[in-house]
Amino acid sequence: MSNHHHTHGHAEASHLSDMDVRVRALETLLTRKGYVDPAALDRIIEIYETEVGPRNGAHVVAKAWSDSTFHDWLLQDATAAINSLGYSGRQGEHMVAVANTPEVHNMVVCTLCSCYPWPILGLPPVWYKSAAYRAKAVMDPRGVLADFRVTLPEQIKLRVWDSTAEVRYLVLPMRPPGTEHLSEEQLALRVTRNSMIGTGLALTEPV
Amino acid sequence: MNGVHDMGGMQGFGRVMPEADEPLFHAPWESRAMAVTVAMGASGQWNIDLARYARETLPPSIYLSSSYYELWIRALEQLTLERGMVTARELSSGQIQDPPLPVARVLKLDTVDAALAAGSPTLRKATSPARYALGQLVRTRNIHPQDHTRLPRYVRGHTGKVVMVHGAHVYPDNHVDRPLPPFNTNAEWLYTVVFDATELWGEAADPQVQVSVDAWEPYLEEVLL
């Protein structure tokens, strides 16, 4: 048994370094050929590490909770409403926002690859791209919610959006009760990434 | 293509495993893999559907056993090899042997922000009126194209309702017609079509569940009432 673990651990480690070598070799070759600029690659990474992530989406949701005009605009024309806050572009060119209500809970998946609204949620987590999620979300969304330890009353309808085209979906989670007094900034802290995908709910308690 | 990438409704993958406090990247190579894939996309030598098709046509055993960024790298190697932008010998040696091919664009430090903020919109001016209207019942065609398509298997041959009309968008099945630019950017009307889970999965399915896909007009046919 310990032998098996040892072998397994070794395989994992060498696999990681295989990929490290493989990616480095490819990047070096493409750079030498003049197809890519390493400084541009650094900047791309910096953008998704520091500027484009789920805080953008939380801003959108908190604004929709606090401003009914923006709320209605978001549901009518999400691309324009989101753009007005400065978020646009790659993998968010055509946005649709879908609102959770006491009757309906929405969940977003891409069964064919890993389509995800980058400008407002950043890069997708591993589970979103996993076979388990892509396979199960459209057939057993209640089971997926259970995997995330989310239980909804049985009468709530589940609505799954499989993003098979270039339309990207944002779930507008329900505003938690008892948050009427909170500012937009405080509300944004209650919005989790998963609540905007539909595998979670907004936080009822401050973090 | 009826490939392993078309995962909706497959069984046996177990529970979904969210990772607490997941890092953005799990190893430094993942960040480089993401960035080099995004940057090479800007070269214009392929499009998003050709990139997806390159991932879909990786051997099924590789597809199922690789992490997503590994799939991206394997597909990027294929895309550049197929176009002669790199050779197999160059890939294995890291040394340049053939001169580079001309590309439409090289993403530079000062063009990254604007390129990402602009993205690649797929909405086009429609050349004909939409055939289907909001609220109309439609059936997805029972088709099994050999190459790239965005109609998942689990909805084929099923009846649903049009709940959104998105305008005319570049049609993926045509977007892969030619491997190099100029690509076929024919656009077709795009609809969100919603299905009851019982229509897709049978009577035992949860009657409170509905699932939609975004489907281009050629994927659909009329339901005669």
Q: What is the distance between the alpha carbons of residues B95 and A118, in angstroms, rounded to a whole number?
A: 35
The predicted model gives B27-56 an average pLDDT of 97
Is residue A38 very low, low, confident or very high in pLDDT (cuts 50, 70, 90)? very high
- Give, for B170, the enclosing helix (H) or strand (E): strand B159-170
SS3 of A105, please? strand
Q: What is the distance between the alpha carbons of residues B97 and B86, in angstroms, rounded to a whole number?
A: 9
pLDDT of residue A9: 42
| CA geometry: angle B192, B71, B64, nearest 5 deg | 80
| Cross-chain Cβ contact A147/B18 below 8 Å | yes
Per CB-CB distance under 8 Å, the chain B contacts of A151 are none
Of B16, B209, B213, which is closest to A130 when you measure between CB atoms? Answer: B16
Architecture of domain B28-118: Orthogonal Bundle (1.10)
Neighbouring CB atoms inside 10 A of A153's CB total 7
Q: Quick check: is A195 catalytic?
A: no
CA of B165, closest CA in chain A: separation in Å? Answer: 11
Give the residue extent of every domain in chain B: 28-118, 123-222
For the segment B9-25, what is each residue's pLDDT rounded down to a tens digit?
Answer: 999 999 999 999 999 99
pLDDT of residue A207: 79
Mean pLDDT of chain B: 97
From A153-157, A162-166, B47-51, B156-160, the region with the lowest mean pLDDT: A153-157
Q: What is the distance between the alpha carbons of residues A61 and A59, in angstroms, rounded to a whole number?
A: 6
For residue B102, give the chain A residue with the closest CA: A35
The predicted model gives A126-153 an average pLDDT of 97
Per the CB < 8 A criterion, the answer to whether B152 and B197 are in contact is: no
Of B5, B86, B166, which is closest to A113 when you measure between CB atoms? Answer: B5
Residue entry with tokens 């990929």: A19
SS3 of A173, please? coil
The predicted model gives B52-59 an average pLDDT of 98
CA of A118, closest CA in chain B: separation in Å? Answer: 10
- CATH number for the domain formed by residue range(s) B123-222: 2.30.30.50
Which residue is catalytic, options A17, A84, A114, A183? A114
Q: What is the distance between the alpha carbons of residues A77 and A90, in angstroms, rounded to a whole number?
A: 18
Q: DSSP letter at B134?
A: T
Neighbouring CB atoms inside 10 A of B96's CB total 14
DSSP β-bridge partners for residue B15: none
pLDDT of A14 strictly over 70:
no
Q: What is the distance between the alpha carbons of residues A35 and B57, in angstroms, rounded to a whole number?
A: 24
Per the CB < 8 A criterion, the answer to whether B4 and B64 are in contact is: yes
For the segment B123-137, what is each residue's pLDDT rounded down to a tens digit?
Answer: 999 999 999 999 999
| Cross-chain Cβ contact A34/B164 below 8 Å | no
Q: Quick check: is A183 catalytic?
A: no
pLDDT of residue A10: 46
DSSP β-bridge partners for residue A108: A161
pLDDT of residue A5: 40
The predicted model gives B66-93 an average pLDDT of 96
pLDDT of A2 strictly over 70:
no
